[in-house]
Chain A
Amino acid sequence: AQSVTQLDSQVPVFEEAPVELRCNYSSSVSVYLFWYVQYPNQGLQLLLKYLSGSTLVESINGFEAEFNKSQTSFHLRKPSVHISDTAEYFCAVSAPPQGGSEKLVFGKGTKLTVNP
């Protein structure tokens, strides 16, 4: 079975500052990793994902995450945040179909608040 730990429940930052949202996972099989974002009063949207290949993955709005197998981490970073990045961010893990089920396991979420 897989599990996900998001180390920070809330992260306040100032606009244009860098941010890192931390995510660690545990699994006995190889995994797929995801970051989803939830803006206020909305459903979740995929931000980025790691399935295989390059360990550094990027989103279209400037976020990036690096898969680190040895540290079982998938931290999310952005070099300069905007007010519009204020949202809750969820790290999630699933096992490839041949390795297990096709269910997502979510972390508890990190609320990012960007202040002017």
Chain B
Amino acid sequence: NAGVTQTPKFRILKIGQSMTLQCTQDMNHNYMYWYRQDPGMGLKLIYYSVGAGITDKGEVPNGYNVSRSTTEDFPLRLELAAPSQTSVYFCATKTRYLETQYFGPGTRLLVL
């Protein structure tokens, strides 16, 4: 099993461009999460999903959008990229009945 995979690993965007960060899992987990990690700030929840077709906002959703059409995929969309979105983005999953979240390797995004 690959677990949680994220693509791309690294990307440079210009201000105003858009992109989609991909997250795919093969563990059949219901719950999926998107976090951003900034130095010295820990991880902040952007969006999460408790199953296909269901998404909800986290602590810092502004400037992002998500969709969850399948159990496996949970893409994060950035529209009109801004320098404040420079960060490392992590996707995570968990089952409904166990509390451990499993993290992907992350996507490093630089907006210039």
Identify the A interface with B (CB < 8 A).
Answer: 6, 9, 32, 34, 36, 42-46, 49, 51, 90, 94, 102-104, 106-109
Q: In this assembly, does B74 line the interface, its C-beta being within 8 Å of a C-beta of chain A?
A: no
The reply to whether A51 and B103 form a contact with Cβ atoms under 8 Å apart is no
Out of B33, B42, B94, B99, which one reaches A90, CB within 8 Å? Answer: B42
In this complex, how many residues of chain B approach chain A with their Cβ under 8 Å: the count is 22
Q: In this assembly, does B43 line the interface, its C-beta being within 8 Å of a C-beta of chain A?
A: yes
Main secondary structure of the interface of B (DSSP, over half): strand
Task: Give the distance to chain A from B89, nearest Cβ to Cβ, in Å.
Answer: 11
Specify which chain A residues have a CB less than 8 angstroms from the CB of B99 in the assembled complex. 32, 34, 49, 51, 94
Identify the B interface with A (CB < 8 A).
Answer: 4, 31, 33, 40-45, 48, 50, 58, 90, 92, 94, 99-101, 103-106
- Write 19 A-B pairs (CB below 8 A) sorted by A numbering: A42-B106, A43-B4, A43-B90, A43-B104, A43-B106, A45-B103, A49-B99, A94-B99, A103-B45, A103-B48, A104-B33, A104-B45, A104-B101, A106-B42, A106-B44, A107-B42, A108-B42, A109-B40, A109-B42
